[in-house]
Structure 1
């Protein structure tokens, strides 16, 4: 097995394996592993791309639609084009709105890196005593999630670090996402099913498996296997086999479903936009003969929307993709949450409507995703009583020895106005590579696609919520997001 964290944390899985093809049929597991699986739905796409950047299948880096290109574009664009450095950091390292629960998941594929908070380090920055400083100053916007943010009172860098203290959800909810005593089975394509014998036998019968074809094996998996499972699930329908057995299944064991492409209707003509929506226009350069978008030119408002895809939790995206077909099977997790909700196996239905981390959205966000509730932060000053100061959102966690408690709120980093400065224009390829506008870049794209100048035409499209959602779905499902969203007819199935 691959390297684990130093503590050697693993989860045990009992698997039913098809001997002839060396393929996992399903695994039987308890809440520890199921909580890990369902936590995937809360991860922002930028986090998944960041974590998966070093993962590969058969030595080839895994590409999740166009998302890898979008993530790389954020890092390649000069930071001066962003409203500030924090705005770019939010896109490259987005926060999980459900991180307080995810911190209790047994296998943390994000290395347990949860939000850090920073306060001004200088007690005497206003020429007063420590206690006077606390009493007079820790009542306003003196809390930041980003080291080096300038204190609004003294202008110094906020670098005094605190982690948020929060209760264990595993204790409070008898499990995190799955009820503590629940035992379920997970198929090779990540369907989560009831472990009842009838269900299992029916599943085996459907696959044409007989008693002599199967064997039972036990696997201890760690963080690296879980991460590999997540990344493989975007590009494969057999991620458990590829993760546990390091072997691709024989194609004749289960008939593979061909990928019919993204099920989107063309948007070039006849589509309307809700009147209240802000007007955003994009100019498409289209190949007349091949009916593909070669590239687009758009202002910072459209690119803000594209970049915001990185902050959106996976579950929200899968909710939009329920009528789409693609190579992977990660969508089965979202469908399983829908099905299991009726069987009372889950602690809540929050996974069906995951939210974006507070402060990571911006005004006029056309996707309509809700932000998580903005927390009330409390800084408990305990010194000199021998108890560490704490930062909490739950007042019940404040130590009894506290001397002072101060209510804080996060500083405004201006991302509510958009991530990028404006007005400015960008060139966006069909694969969602984004660069500041450049005619040379446009010509190089045409040259690479072998599209002659006499074969192109320009189309102006107005972008509203429906169009943005289509681009979002297409950016996960394939490598031609603009063509799939604005032009391509759905393939016959």
Structure 2
């Protein structure tokens, strides 16, 4: 059997060998489409693709906390999967990219396979999330892939076949080392020569590299922490896996702080354990606070950049977003503008975090299957052919075809309406249940670096011992979080190893380590 070759994308690099730096690259729409597609990826997907080494502040630790936490702490088994492998609302577009690094598929369909299910035929439920539960209480099971393009996730039509998935026209693009994208032109070339001090263009070495999915993923990882992502790929420089500065927010948080005393969210309170000299050990929190942090994993990258503008990440991935507004303006399909600049979350992934960050959620999907509900539940998509197969019935007297009768399935209703179910609800349905974490009296420990675990005497003692602090030097304070503090805490989770300290401790008392 012939081996299927992995797709690659050719990119021409212009390299200053003497300074060991890639100045810029030239590529067609395939590469630019892939770069812009990053903006649709949920943050949890990026962490997973980076093998929990994304270097986005504390977000790797938040992801690991979800992994380590028992499903008993979540509303449903599906909730944990929704955070560890969040679906992309623009998957219909991204699946058409020449290289799609996101292996989560929104087209997977799960249904209750019980033909005597208490859910009515007109209210048959499906989910795109593994582990979802039917209204009758039974686990939904995988039944195949559906490929109908519908709603806002519909992929581009067949017109403009020469255009890309997101970009317009068959153009050559220039991509700088820090991922600013612009259509190729003479004026741009001259400005780049001036910017990089290129006196003689002949001194630049042109080389073509082939990028596969592994290289594209590595490029994404570098763009999160470095301003020289193309240089890093070409010269294979090691990724700095400790690239996040301690208290990187200390100079940025408070100058633009506003008076938000009236924005207190009375039901989001935490108890902070700190020393008398204001070193923070951990916070004791309820499910609502933990749900805020976990919900960060479902937010698309583009939505995060939109919220925090130029203050979102240390790397250069932001430049892709702002290129659509600036240097690449007019070269993105109009129908794709909102997909990239204001990405939505998939149905039922909305939570308190999406509300605070004003990330919209797609409406639940409705599907119509050509076949009866019993055959579909029994055989999935493969069983629909058997359901619709007909046999001619001949008249006894004349031997002519009198009519056609269904061969195997006698059910006369050959259409099934499917409604998307909420994976967060223990009994399915379409209600709005938003929380991922189960409510109740359970308390959690949240460390300064956002390691989240159930609160216990063992974990608290371990934290105190590790800090080598006497109990008499400890203070406990209750904090009622404001909208501003929550937004800054989420931003701190992206760029700081000490997210709680960055937001909750007064600037004059923060300690910067060498």
* TM superposition score category, shorter chain reference: 0.7 to 0.9
Secondary structure of 2:270's partner? strand
The partner residue of 1:331 within 302, 318, 327 is 318
Paired residue for 1:435?
453
The one-character-per-residue Cα deviations of 1:378-414 (angstroms, maximum 9, x if unpaired) are 2222999xx9678xxxxxxxxxxx9833322112333
Distance 1:466 1:297 in 2: 20
The one-character-per-residue Cα deviations of 1:172-193 (angstroms, maximum 9, x if unpaired) are 5642211132322111111112
Deviates more, 1:159-168 or 1:220-229: 159-168
Distance 1:409 1:261 in 2: 46
Change (3 A) 1:279 1:153: closer
Alignment of 1:479-490 (within 5 A): 479-487=497-505, 489=507
Deviates more, 1:407-416 or 1:81-90: 407-416
State the superposition RMSD in angstroms.
Answer: 3.4
Distance 1:156 1:318 in 2: 37
Alignment of 1:236-247 (within 5 A): 236-247=226-237
Instruction: Give the deviation of 1:139 after TM superposition.
Output: 2.0
Distance 2:256 2:286 in 1: 20
Contact 1:24 1:240 in 2 (8 A): yes
The one-character-per-residue Cα deviations of 1:214-240 (angstroms, maximum 9, x if unpaired) are 111111111000000011111211111
Query: Are 2:419 and 1:409 equivalent residues in the alignment?
Result: yes
Distance 2:77 2:49 in 1: 21
Alignment of 1:206-221 (within 5 A): 206-211=195-200, 212-221=202-211
Q: How many residues align?
A: 450
Contact 1:273 1:463 in 2 (8 A): no
The partner residue of 2:280 within 289, 293, 309 is 293
Paired residue for 1:312?
299
Change (3 A) 1:186 1:456: farther
Paired residue for 1:12?
10
Change (3 A) 1:452 1:169: farther
Instruction: Give the deviation of 1:11 after TM superposition.
Output: 0.6
Paired residue for 2:191?
202
The partner residue of 1:425 within 417, 438, 443 is 443
The partner residue of 2:165 within 176, 186, 192 is 176
Paired residue for 1:120?
112
The one-character-per-residue Cα deviations of 1:106-148 (angstroms, maximum 9, x if unpaired) are 101123644411223355x37xxxxxx9xx9442142122445
Alignment of 1:373-384 (within 5 A): 373-381=363-371
Paired residue for 2:96?
104
Distance 2:260 2:274 in 1: 18
The one-character-per-residue Cα deviations of 1:80-101 (angstroms, maximum 9, x if unpaired) are 1111101111111111111111
Query: Are 2:134 and 1:144 equivalent residues in the alignment?
Result: no
Distance 2:48 2:213 in 1: 15
Change (3 A) 1:157 1:323: closer
Instruction: Give the deviation of 1:210 after TM superposition.
Output: 2.8
Contact 1:118 1:146 in 2 (8 A): yes
Instruction: Give the deviation of 1:49 after TM superposition.
Output: 0.8
Paired residue for 1:130?
none
Instruction: Give the deviation of 1:286 after TM superposition.
Output: 2.8
Query: Are 2:55 and 1:63 equivalent residues in the alignment?
Result: yes
Contact 1:304 1:420 in 2 (8 A): yes
Distance 1:484 1:139 in 2: 52
Distance 2:137 2:276 in 1: 59
Deviates more, 1:368-377 or 1:69-78: 368-377
Distance 1:285 1:332 in 2: 39
Distance 1:246 1:202 in 2: 27
Instruction: Give the deviation of 1:338 after TM superposition.
Output: 2.1
Distance 1:111 1:337 in 2: 25
Structure with the greater alpha carbon radius of gyration: 2
Change (3 A) 1:451 1:325: farther
Secondary structure of 2:224's partner? coil
Change (3 A) 1:150 1:435: closer
Query: Are 2:213 and 1:230 equivalent residues in the alignment?
Result: no
